[in-house]
Structure 1
Amino acid sequence: MGPAFQRYWWRDGDSLLRVYAWAAMLLASLLNFLNHNQYPAWRAEVTLAALAMVALGLALGVVHRLAMPRLSFLFTALLAALAVDLNGDRLWLVPAAFGATLVVAFFADRAAVKLIAAAFTGVLVFQLAGLHGDRPDRPAFARKAAPDPAAGPPIVHLILDGYMGLGGMAADPAAFGALRDANTAFFRRHGFRLYGNAYSEHRNTTNSLPHILSFGQAAPATTPQRLQHSVPGPLAYFGLLRRASYKTYVLQTDYIDLCARQGVAGCSTYPRSDLATMDAVAMPTSAKAETILSSLASLAVLPTLLDSATLDVRSSLAGEAVPPLEQRAKLFPIASMAAMDRLTASLAGARRGEAYVAHLLLPHDPYLYDAACKVKPRSAWTFEEAEGDRVRRDADYAAQSRCLLTRLDAMLAVLAKSPDGRDAIVILHGDHGSRIVDIVPELGQPGEPSPRDYAMTYSTLFAVRGPGVAPGEDGSAAPVASLLGAFAAFGFAATPDPAGAADAERHVLLTDDRWTPRRKVPLPAFERPAL
């Protein structure tokens, strides 16, 4: 590196080529990601994120130039690998791109960089042409078929992800006593039958949701890795609705597909971390830009590995645990609140013969809403199994759950005004508990989970309302899958029988670190609420 380069590197052709290649690749990757998520482009946070990508490209391009001539081919290969990593969804392509480019760049480094720069110039132009404006509001469902008026009253079935039951709340009254009282008052006011000691037999949605919707008959997951997308086989619950002449509409996340094999009349899928939903909430521009960049980086292997390798150092410097990249990218509650609003709008027209089944990632972490449903500063978001202050996480979970109750209240008010909504059957249940624990009830974990850990993990909500259902509270301990099965067996027209649904063993299933159930264990008794 000569004096001329030190003083005038920006005039050097190799420097400009490498800076441009990195900047074009990173900026094109960002725009590709935004277009895929239909994010409105003309926002300050998009400009801020784009500037951050250009600045990063400038820095990496300079480092790349400084590596000439001996090590430049390594950085060229890294440029190609990261390009594939940020824009592809096949893990094997990342090492393949690195290896192939490494060989080419070893013999023709400048030509390889020029090829990558030219390719991403084309991508950049294409993505700029496809930038989105404001995303139009659409109802959750487009009704494709008229309901059968001879069928039963409308069914609204809400599956709330991570909603702890009254039994779990009673296991830690200091943290959740007030939340338990708020839940009890809410369900009494709306005429529900509430099963305070209901529980899930699985701690992960991958297993719990098919288990519940098959009335306990679904085969457990056997995938060799933690699922990011699951498509369960035909589930008994949807078959029962079809036989009862219901037209079923499903609102689901992109995590588990409840439509593909269930023969439903309509399906609406929302991304679990739908970036575009940030546009409707009050968040600082910098927080939105950080979320955009974290979301993009979390989808790639190389940034995730770098984040994991430096997490302990950054936590030490910060003086507190820094959440990993995959957690910082989560927008589950914001995306689910937006989906819930769309569902509420659709329920204004609910009629006999229609069933609405919705899986909402609420009050799932991150805990970012206060009790008034305002989004807290991003630095104040907390996560269910993160290290650190559990008392703070408990309080944040309770606040987000209170927010959810206000939104449920609004939904039920809209349903009551629909054509047949006053006689609607409403089913509310969780898929598992809050999972705010000290030790995860999972095989291979150091230490022994406490009864509180089990209560937080497996205790979950189950409440039903409808013609023939006696309002009130029942403290019988029963699995959600059995309670739903008993209610369905009665044609949704009578109170589920806890004597028939109760599990005398009170057992749950522990998984290995791949979320595959391996061992059935008794569920430790935790304090039951006095009803």
Structure 2
Amino acid sequence: MLFAASLAAGLAGFFNLLNYHAYPLFRPEVAVVVAGIVAVAFVLAALRGAIGSLLGAVMTGLVVAIAADLSAEIDLGWFYALWLVLAVIAFLAEPLLLKMALAMFGTVALFQFVTLTTGLGAPVRPDNSARVLQSGDRPMTDRPAIVHLVLDSYLGLGGMDLGPEHYTQLRAEQSAFFAQRGFQTYPGAYSRHVKTVNSLPYLFSYGTAPFGEGGVDVQYAVADELAYFTDLDTRGYRTSVLQPTYLDMCVNQPLTRCRKYERSDLAALLDTDLTAVERARIMGFTLLQLTGFPSRAAEALQLAANDAFELTGRRPYNRAKLLPLAAVRQFDRFIDELPDLQRGKARVAHLLLPHDPYILDPQCRAKPEREWLDEHGPGTPAARERAYADQVRCVQGKIAAMLDALDRTAAGREAIVLIHGDHGSRISPYVPYIGGPQLTDRELLMAHSAFFAIRVPGEPAAELAGSYALETLMADFRARDFRSAPRPLAARPAMLLMNARSVPTERRALPVPVRN
């Protein structure tokens, strides 16, 4: 009974995951994961048969509690309470508890299987999730179109200037590319914030948005009304947004269209050359992240093993991330839709590129999973920076494809193209916060240095000296009525440091750059 209940619970959670990501059922990696679930259920059943009634009840209660945790987000305190209650029930009536668990999770597994094989009951995401729809009765402006890319964790040219060689070489490549394409770049551009939940609202509100208070592990936040989108609407632009399921700008902005994409979409694995075992491993870690207690236990065990045995194992949480793969798919989709761009339209996309994990080569192909690296380690900083540079080169290739698509239409050729990061590369042991471990001056500068470039037809390519906060550049772009490149006054750069809850509370000067 424990084998059957564990198997049903595992399959219910896994099939639900496949349905959510629209992942096909009949794939070799799916078979590998199913075999793993069968093996886990067998081991649990064998272990239960080898221990006594009291410990067996505790174990059965834990298994059923984890099964429930897999299907519902349970706070850790409530999980322990549920475990205790289920253990007592198992001690008094274990067969009954297991029959109930089998019936419940077996039903869910069957429903999810039917959905996977027939499509009946499959989740349907709205094609347009904009809540504040722009009026279709008002005439659309005859202004040039605006194409606005926010590329997450895109290090600025000034940050690349700090070296070493793998960054200065990247800086030279980036400078040449954007100069040849007619962009004005701002090497000294920087973000006051190092977390997207604060940096994006801040720059889109020209520095007036309240700070996020979702805590360090926030997975979803809704942005308040942001002045940039209101200003575009006031000027008659029809604005569309493409964004990940993280910071939601679909709710409070006046938009014609808004689309959200799953930021760690498993279906993106289908476009790679990863083996079935590699894909299955990623699916397994993704399934683990649907739980509370087991995922925390796995994190703790991995970190303890790293410390005790000097290992360099990646955190299980990071091994479930496919952010760049999903973003590349969406970048291609964004490019494919550019031929119908018209004057008076603004297209804004927030793409999680070149955000970690660093998994793409310069041609945007996925590297073998064993070579994937994360911004905070493990692995040496030099290895992570080289992997980050590869991912930036992938981004550069996609930007080239986007510009080629724009240059094929009249509206695209005369469009204003704005490309910037939301913060820097953040390759350091920790995200900086007040009272936390101290970062080096270089690590702080790399975390805040943010790319900023703009192409305005009729304005020559240039590199603008000086330090400029992102929100200052955006405010000056608005002051020029969104018609010409910003030229704000340079100022001494200052950052807004967060407390341990990721809420910015203190303003400090950024360190003075020293080239490596």
The interval holding the TM-score normalised by the smaller chain is over 0.9
Is the contact made by 2:149 and 2:351 (CA closer than 8 Å) also made in structure 1? yes
Q: Which residue is 1:28 aligned to?
A: 12
- Counterpart check, 1:56 vs 2:43: no
Contact 1:139/1:342 (<8 A) preserved: no
What is the match of residue 94 of structure 2? 109
For the residue of structure 1 that corresponds to 2:418, the secondary structure is: strand
Match of 1:75 in 2: 59
Instruction: Measure the CA separation in 2 of the matches of 1:200 and 1:85.
Output: 38
TM-aligned CA distance change 1:153 to 1:427, over 3 Å: same
Residue range with higher mean Cα deviation, 25-34 or 89-98:
89-98
1:13 counterpart residue number:
none
Identity %: 35
Match of 2:477 among 472, 487, 493: 487
Question: 1:523 is matched by which residue type in structure 2?
Answer: L
| Correspondence for 1:328 among 302, 319, 324 | 319
- What's the TM-score, normalizing by structure 1? 0.90
How far did 1:109 drift? 1.2
Quote how far apart the aligned CAs of 1:516 are. 0.9
Count of equivalent residues: 507
SS at match of 1:326: helix
- Which residue in 1 is equivalent to 2:506? 519
- Tell me the equivalent position of 2:69: 85
Question: Structure 1's 231 and 149: CA in aligned 2 closer, same or farther, altered over 3 A?
Answer: closer
* CA drift at 1:387: 3.4
Residues 467, 492 of structure 2: 8 Å contact kept: no
CA separation of 1:175 and 1:444: change in aligned 2, threshold 3 A = farther
Does the aligned pair in 2 maintain the 1:147–1:351 contact within 8 Å?
Answer: no
> 2:462 is matched with which residue?
472
Match status 1:459 vs 2:449: yes
2:420 aligned to which of 413, 429, 439 = 429
Could you give the per-residue CA deviations for residues 272-297 of structure 1, whole angstroms, max 9, x where no partner exists? 10111111122111111011110110
SS at 2:221's partner residue? coil
Q: Deviations over 1:408-428 (max 9, x none)?
A: 100111122235111111110
Amino acid at match of 2:112: Q
Q: Is the 8 A contact 2:146 2:345 kept in 1?
A: yes
What runs of 5+ residues in structure 2 fail to find an aligned partner?
Answer: none
> What is the letter of the counterpart of residue 402 of structure 1?
R
CA distance in 1 between partners of 2:180 and 2:463 (Å): 12
User: Which whole-Å CA distance do the structure 1 matches of 2:138 and 2:181 have between them?
Assistant: 26
Matched-pair contact (CA < 8 Å) for 1:349–1:419 = no
Q: What's the Cα RMSD here? A: 2.4
AA aligned to 1:69 is S
- Please tell me whether residue 262 in structure 1 is matched to residue 241 in structure 2: no
Partners of 1:141 and 1:182 in 2: CA distance: 38
> Structure 1 residue 389: deviation in Å?
0.9
Please give the secondary structure, in 2, of the residue aligned with 1:71.
helix
C-alpha distance in 2 between matches for 1:341 and 1:436: 27
CA contact (8 A) 1:147 1:247 kept: no
**Cα deviation, residue 356, structure 1:** 0.8
- Look up the match of 1:197: 188
Moved more, 480-489 or 95-104: 95-104
- The Cα shift of 1:95 comes to 3.7
Alignment partners' CA distance in 2, 1:265 and 1:371: 34
Aligned partner (choices 364, 379, 391) of residue 370 of structure 2: 379
Give the drift of 1:317.
Answer: 8.2
Instruction: Identify which of 207, 220, 234 aligns with 1:216.
Output: 207
Which is further off, 409-418 or 238-247? 409-418
CA distance in 2, matches of 1:219, 1:373: 36
The SS at the match of 1:21 is: helix
Structure-2 change in CA distance of 1:375 and 1:223 (3 Å): closer
Q: Say if 1:528 and 1:480 are closer, same or farther in 2 by CA, change over 3 A.
A: farther
1:153: how far off? 1.4
